[in-house]
Chains A and B, each alone.
Chain A
Amino acid sequence: MVKQRTLCAPIGWRYRALAILSGVLALAGCGDDVAATSGDTETGSGSGGTADSSMADGTDGTTEGGSQSDGQIEGFMPGAGGMRKLTVREYRASVDLMLGPAAAAAAIPPADIGQDGFDAVGASILPLAADSVELYERSAAAVADAVISDLGPLQALVPCVSANADAACYREVATSLGRLAYRHTLSTAEVDSLANIAAQGQRWGAGAFLTGLRYELMAILQAPSFLYVQEIGEPDPEGSEFRRLTASELATRMSLFLTGHTPTLELLDAAEAGMLDTSAQIRAQAELMVGNPEARTAMESFFGEALRLRRLAEAPKNAEIFPQFSPELGEMMKDETLLLVADIIWNRDADYRTLFDADYTFVNDPLAALYGMDPPGTGSMFTQVQWPEQQHRAGYTSQASFLTWQSGPRRNSPTKRGLYVQERILCQRIQPPDPDAELELPDSEDLTLKELLEMHLDNDGCRGCHALTDPIGFAFESYTAIGAFRTTDNGKPVETDGEIADIGAWNNAKELGEILAQDPRTGTCLVRNLVKGTLGQRLTAEHTPGIDDLGLVFADSGYRVQALLVDMTAHPLFRLVDEPK
């Protein structure tokens, strides 16, 4: 038996096939079956909309009249309630909060497993592999041992703790540390259970208080009440059909969002005292938290994941073609991008979209050498510099981090680069290629990569699909697969001009960056990625109205991320949840 296969000529995205289409551009002969059977919840049904559900209701983010968040948002639906597991970063930071940095350093929780591009989504939806329970036990033991070897941090929280404390202190540990760990006041039964484990441990340890304490700590750190964040909510007192997070649930969500760890006792106290009930109260609290350096760390982590910076050190590059590349250089590329992000958000509180049209960047000597600039003479220290005008660079998509990660080991991938811009910067869904399409993009001695790709695009049905990604990628053909500047490819001048109907026309990467910075989808896309990457929500078309609404709020603020972080905490999509999943 032979299954018939479409012979689509080959090309670049994922080096695997040509057949890519968007939901709007139903291009003949290119992956219709995939679209029909994909069950792609993000594309949604009945929207007829563009590729992504953030566009599914037909808004494009430019609607006049601004946000509706003070009133009803038409068609609004919040993310599902339920429980999400602390990510590795959240677990460590929470252990740090409760038990100090040495305990946090000892923590060895099981690794995160991302979904939909973010670890937080995996932590919200994946069931735990059986091994992981043992890994959590081992981590709990390691943390407990660290605490026992230096009681200082725990004593700050529970003063009765000492090597000679009496058994009553176990109850105080359960009450005080337990509340911090579980984000609720423990019931008598819960305190009893923990004290009993501690007492059993003390007996086993020939009466040593610290032995009992070790097992009590292990119990707290293994408890699902610590490991999983509950977001169940209660009937919305304002009468919506959804559930509103309880005070302590809201405090926890805010804290994880803005500090990366579970809430402090002060925040829990405030929440339970009714001081996080009104939008004004929430905003005031959020403003305080945004002003704390922990918010920078939390955002650095988010952007590190969203901008694909975390694994740059292991970017595969052919050593003969790119002898300059090393894991260390990959780390520097990551730092360069994070410096630009921090400069825009924190130093200048500027328009987020500057990330795509900034005429400056941050380099040290090795990166300056890569870019063909005069080294600043600062060694490994970074300094702010203007992009050289003749290189036509602007923003993140001109930085080595993006250019390196969205390339192959041997050559550029205009398709990959274009796909990232469409899917991660503009949040447009590009359908995967037809599974039967084939790729055999040959090497060439005399054609440029653009010529090679375009030649193959002439095959039936393939051009239309790649027309959404490759022209974007061609704008970056002035830069190699590790981000160095070049004017020729295979001996011929590179061509960087291009056009896509719903994006615009450009002559080079700088102009494309300026177009991306002006595109209203860019701001809404950040909102969307934040909801996935920090709240861990798997989004469907139903969530689009809420995200679009917050996108308008973001626009009203001049696309200032600090303002967005505050606005988001008070927005219905943050305070409300749908039924537990």
Chain B
Amino acid sequence: MRNLKLSRRRMLRGVVAGSSVAVGLPILEAMLNTHGTALASGDDLPLRFMTWYWADGIVIDRWEPQQVGSDWELSEQLQPLATVKDYVSVVSGMQNRATNLTTHHEGMSGFNGFDFSFAGGGGLSTDAGGPTIDQRIADAIEGRTPVRGVHVRVSKRESTDGDGGTTYIAMSHRDTGGGLVPQTPQTNPQEVWQLLFGEFVPKPDDSSLRTSILDYVREDANALRNDLGQVDRQRVDAHLEGIFELEQKILATPPTCSLPDLPTETNTDTGGIEPLSATNEAMARLIAYAFVCDITRVASFQLKRFVSSTVFDEIDAGEIHHSASHQGPGNAVYQAGVTYQMQKFADLLEIFAQTQDLNGESLLDTSIIYATSDCSTGASHSVERQPILLAGRGRGYLTHPGIHYQTEPFNGNHNNPNASENMSDVLLTCLRAFDPEATSVGGGALRSSTPLTDVVA
């Protein structure tokens, strides 16, 4: 039998979005050294990173705060962040320097500092550039946790318009040497629970059998490889990488924390309506728990895909959010949809704030969360004035309380907004927290070698 140490657990009660939530917290003294200043292994206390994506832009003058610097106030569309404002810095006026444009895709790929390339499917089919920022950070801290990263999406809805290529299907793309592998997200919280915690459920220890099978699977994959061309060899390599990661998990020392319960939420429609808030919260709790247990330190989180047919039923939108975005910045449904997405982000941040980390701080104190969208003005798909939020304190790495950094004031033209500097600078800021030696991030016109230091403590 695998010897899993089960620790006591305590519950913190809090209120998220008006509903009572219970965050089960592991007691993790065993993970720390005697002074509580480092992990028992001697490693530094863990820092976590998450990317968070919302879709189809903002209304610039309702989203960007009026004031800059440390004395900023929440704008209309940022009101939901009131309870966690000190943990948020707003970065506005930055440019996405993408040179390939087709609408939305350039923002999704620019999110991570790269241009897309046009893919074989034609039309609105593009392949994302990468590796994405979460994967750069996962590379920098490789091997410290049993799970490399977790990738989730809340809305299951798709574009009905034929968007394709890898840009559309994932927000995380890993470079495995031969090419990029899209890490397609999971939409069912129970599935996410399985991937994060399922391996550590006490059960008869058949790990040697499972790794023997994986050895056989690896051998079989390698035998196929010889007959294949470059595209399929990369596919075999991606499969081999998956085998390696599963092996690492099977062989990992089980975490000393107790495991959270399997969530009841399965993200199943009721009467054609998606349970967006419940799924968002379930995903946030799972990630928070996995972060504290140090099962993984990296996550990507997509509220909905760009151009998806998602309807924000909880605010009675009655219209596809993407369609509403094309009614222009003055459209009330669109405006409410932007604020709604900010509320979902705030819900997640509050769960992090209420989750106690190893040494008594909140998980928001010990994480960095980079959030942005695929455009500024949705109606014109503008990639000027990228709306960026940087949340968390990053164990003192990020400035606290947060500030509003703005490159230049908004020119008032929603469809042709002004912008300057390079949004990828923020990515390098994030990467440096994990890899102080990192010299650049991104590629092509979006590449940055100059981190934004104003948001650093």
Interface residues of A (CB under 8 A from B): 1-5, 7, 10, 13-17, 34, 37-43, 80-83, 113-117, 121, 125-134, 137-138, 193-194, 196-197, 200-201, 204, 215, 218-219, 222-225, 228, 230, 232, 308, 311, 313-321, 326-327, 330, 405-406, 408-410, 416, 423, 429-433, 435-436, 438-442, 538, 540, 579-581
Contacts and interface: CB of A to CB of B under 8 A. Distances in A.
B216 A316 contact: no
Contacts of A10: 326, 379
A41 B122 contact: yes
Given A318-B318, A581-B231, A127 B182 contact: yes
A580 B154 CA distance: 37
A357 to B, nearest CB: 25
A32 B241 CA distance: 41
Interface string B171-202: 00010100101111010000000110010000
B416 interface: yes
Contacts of A330: 272
B318 A5 contact: no
9 A-B pairs closest in CB distance: A133-B242, A127-B238, A39-B118, A40-B122, A116-B121, A435-B101, A580-B229, A439-B326, A130-B242
A223 to B, nearest CB: 5
Contacts of B220: 223-225
Contacts of A440: 326-328, 379
9 contacts: A2-B413, A3-B384, A14-B307, A38-B102, A41-B120, A42-B121, A133-B245, A134-B242, A581-B230
Interface stretch (B37-45, B155-163, B395-403): B155-163
Report the contact-size class of chain B (Cβ under 8 Å from the partner).
Answer: 35 or more
A311 B103 CA distance: 24
Contacts of B28: none
Contact of A83 (B216, B224, B269): B224
Nearest to B210: A137
B372 to A, nearest CB: 18
Contact of B379 (A34, A320, A438): A438
A128 B121 contact: no
B213 interface: yes
Interface of B: 95, 100-103, 106, 117-125, 148, 151, 156-158, 160-162, 164-166, 169-170, 174, 176, 179, 181-184, 186, 194-195, 198, 206, 208-210, 212-214, 216-217, 219-221, 223-224, 227-232, 234-239, 241-243, 245-246, 249, 269, 271-272, 307, 309-311, 318-320, 322-323, 326-328, 379-382, 384, 411, 413, 415-420
A580 B380 contact: no
Contacts of B160: 308, 405-406, 416
Given A41-B120, A127-B181, A330-B272, 13 more contacts: A15-B323, A37-B100, A38-B102, A80-B229, A137-B246, A314-B156, A314-B269, A314-B272, A327-B272, A429-B123, A435-B381, A442-B327, A581-B230
A538 B319 contact: no
B176 to A, nearest CB: 8
Given A116-B125, A127-B182, A423 B162 contact: yes
Most buried by B among A39, A128, A200, A219: A128
Query: Which residue among B198, B229, B232 has the maximum number of chain A CB atoms within 10 Å of its CB?
Result: B232
Contacts of A308: 160
Contact of B416 (A2, A137, A215, A439): A2
B125 A223 contact: no
Please indicate which of the listed interface residues B151, B212, B230, B382 has the most CB atoms of chain A within 10 Å of its own CB: B212
A311 B162 CA distance: 14
Nearest to B179: A127
A433 to B, nearest CB: 7
Contacts of B224: 83, 224-225, 228, 230
A138 B194 contact: yes
